[in-house]
Amino acid sequence: MAMNSTIRKKKCIVAYEGKAEARHDHLDSWPSSSLQASQYLLGFHSSVHRFTLQTSEYRLTRAMPSSPHRRGLLLLPLLVAAAALWQPLPADAAAATCKAWLVQSIPTDMPHLRRVPGVLSTGDVLQWLSRNATESLDILAQYWQFLAQPNNPKSGDYGYSDSDMKRFGADEGHRVYKALENAADRKIKIRIVQHSGFAPDFDQESADLAAGRPNVQNVTLLFEKWWGSGVVHAKVWISDKKDVYIGSANNDWKSLTQVKELGIYFADCPQVAKAVEVYFQNLWSLSTLNSTTYTKVAWDKQWQVSRKVPCWSHFLQPKQRCRSPIPLSVDIPYTDGYPVLANPEMIDVPFETPGYKKSTQEHYLSYLSFAPPEVTFDKFQADEQGWVDTIKSVKIGGIVRMSTMDWLGQSQYATQTVYWPSLSSAISEVVFSKNATVRLLVAYWTHFIPNTEKYLKSLLYSNILCASSTYNHCGGKVEIKYYTVPGYNETGPALSQDGAATGNRYPGFTRVNHGKYAVSDERANIGTSNLIWDYFYTTAGVSFGTYNPSIVSQLQDVFDADWYSPYTVPVEPLEASASV
């Protein structure tokens, strides 16, 4: 491993996303205190501003499968529920001003990381969403571990003292969970779509929320039954169909104070919430259907593999497809798969950015993108396109900034290995054609995927190709750094199951940069997916993107604070490696 003498490669088995997500944030310098921020957020509903929403006509196709009529009848409630999402907005919702804030979690013990003013705390935002809900709260979650378990021998928290847990900020997770419990006790309608979770308690916390409360419903959606692999990896909260969190933070206390996370929070934005709600409803609908009836094996021409897909997938030939039980995405005839949309759905909504000094209410287009493509709808783009188009939006001579936990130019969890050049090709294209600089931050931690570095060095080889000929007129470059959160190699339970001290200083699956975003000089893309093929084709993920210059500038500042911090280490170029 030619990384640096300061970092030693550790061989370990990589768990799927490995519960690696934990965070803690600060309000920094806006406002001057969390109390002021809370008072501001609770009072902004009085502001008024006109908004316009550009939408195409949402059409719900009758979703009758080719199976017996009695199964078709079961789909009627799903269609009714989906149609209800697109009722006209109430007058008071239309009058409110949409507001957006960037949201971070910053691990403890990172004193040399510059704080960006105006960025909210993940823990605060999740509490606000719970406490301010008056009618409904919909949550997409991979797993639940808001409550620390230092006394459970099967937990990565095992063996740490009460003072340790306080120092780690574990109380923040307890506060979020209590806010959820209070919402449930107020009879707020709570719906949860989740993966089956992880050890030691899997989905026990969501089960406890639902126990004895008919207003709380939780369903488990196993993507492997629909796509052969994958999980519900989206991290989304929707409150009252108008306030939304989209980001990298899991429902885990560690995602609030021990893992670096990045997301975006919308308040009084029914235009955004309505679209995300359709995606939520699509996943909810999948959980109610028999996957055996609604899946087929497709020969995927695009990726050259045979794989399981929903029977309405465009990776199947038209004659093989069934009628979709969920709202359809735009149908492009005479094509296989899900090609890039020339004119994807855009949301034309002015929103304030109170956390940024140059907040504007001017109109700048925004978008949402979703994964996998089979659960997109209307003209909303697939998540991969959101990332690729953000890279390609860079100006001539401009800079693209990208941050991710994992990066691979292939699949990681599929039965057949898929080669995936989509993002690396987009990067090389702008380096050559636009003389752009692309800066990529990749997390280096205990569960680092071993073959990542080879793909990163391959990407760095674009610099050699760019300069290989005077006829190229190529002035762009790729720069890549590892992000190392202090203590990344000292994580795990404090005690082994037999009671022996382990020497670990931090709980398991912590001390990692877990954010997933890209920002050019014109456009920002904030997502929930790691940059690996599986996350875009077999896994639930959501991104929000915008051309709003305030969000773009502030996200650039967040990236630069990381990039220029002492917690990054350059990846050595290919020619400097000891072995090739």
Query: 439: which DSSP letter?
Result: E
Q: pLDDT tens digits, residue range 476-495?
A: 999 999 999 999 999 999 99
Q: Which of 259, 104, 102, 246 is nearest to 541 (CA)?
A: 246
The reported pLDDT for the residue numbered 22 is: 37
Q: Report residue 99: phi and psi, to 5°.
A: -130, 145
Q: How many helices (H) and strands (E) does the chain have?
A: 16, 23
What's the pLDDT score for residue 197?
A: 86
Q: Provide mean pLDDT across the span 11-35.
A: 36
In a domain, 561, yes or no: yes
Q: Worst-scoring range by mean pLDDT, 181-195, 319-333, 339-353?
A: 319-333
Q: Within a domain: residue 262?
A: yes
Q: pLDDT tens-digit profile of 299-340?
A: 999 999 999 999 999 999 999 999 999 987 777 778 889 999
186: Cα within 13 Å, side-chain hemisphere: 16
3-class secondary structure, 394: coil
Mean pLDDT of 92-110: 85
Q: Is residue 10 situated within a structural domain?
A: no
- Cβ-based neighbours of 61, under 8 Å, separated by 6 or more: 323, 324, 327, 328
- Interval 367-377: pLDDT, tens: 999 999 999 99
Res 198: pLDDT: 84
Residue whose tokens read 């993002």: 423
Helix (H/G/I), strand (E/B), else coil: 216: strand
Whether 342 has a pLDDT exceeding 60, the answer reads: yes
Share of the chain above pLDDT 70, in %: 82
- Alpha-carbon gap, residue 99 to 94, rounded angstroms: 13
Cβ atoms within 10 Å, residue 24 = 27
Q: Quick one: pLDDT at residue 359?
A: 65
Which two three-digit tokens encode residue 504? 């670990």
> Around Cβ 178, how many Cβ atoms within 10 Å?
15
Q: Quick one: which H or E segment has residue 483?
A: strand 477-483
Structure tokens at 45: 């509903």
For residue 328, being part of any structural domain is answered with: no
Give Cβ neighbours of residue 557 (< 8 Å, ≥ 6 apart): 116
Indicate if the pLDDT at residue 449 is higher than 80.
Answer: yes
Distance in angstroms (rounded) separating the CA atoms of residues 408 and 533: 8
Residue 367 lies in a domain: yes
The pLDDT value recorded for residue 360 is 67
Tell me what pLDDT residue 201 has: 82
Per the domain annotation, does 335 fall within a domain? no
Domain span at residue 267 reads 17-48+60-323+345-576
CA separation, residue 232 to residues 67, 168, 220, 272 (Å): 27, 27, 9, 20
Reported as a single tens digit per residue, the pLDDT across 136-185 is: 999 999 999 999 999 999 999 999 999 999 999 999 999 999 999 999 99
- In this prediction, residue 125 carries a pLDDT of 99
Q: In whole numbers, what is the pLDDT of the chain averaged over residues?
A: 86
Q: Both ends of the chain: CA-CA distance in Å?
A: 11
Contacts of 203 (CB under 8 A, 6+ apart): 143, 144, 194, 196, 197, 218, 220
Any idea which of 436-445, 534-543, 571-580 has the lowest mean pLDDT? 571-580
Q: How many CB atoms lie within 10 A of CB 240?
A: 19
Question: Is 564 within the bounds of a domain?
Answer: yes
Judging by beta carbons within 10 Å of its beta carbon (0-12, 13-18, 19+), is residue 461 exposed, middle or buried? middle
DSSP character string of 332-356: -TT--S-PPPSS---EE--EE-TTS
- Give CA–CA dist 150/165, Å, rounded: 8
Total domains, the chain: 1
Q: Which structure tokens are listed for 251?
A: 């429902």
pLDDT at 567 over 50: yes
Domain assignment present for residue 340? The answer is no
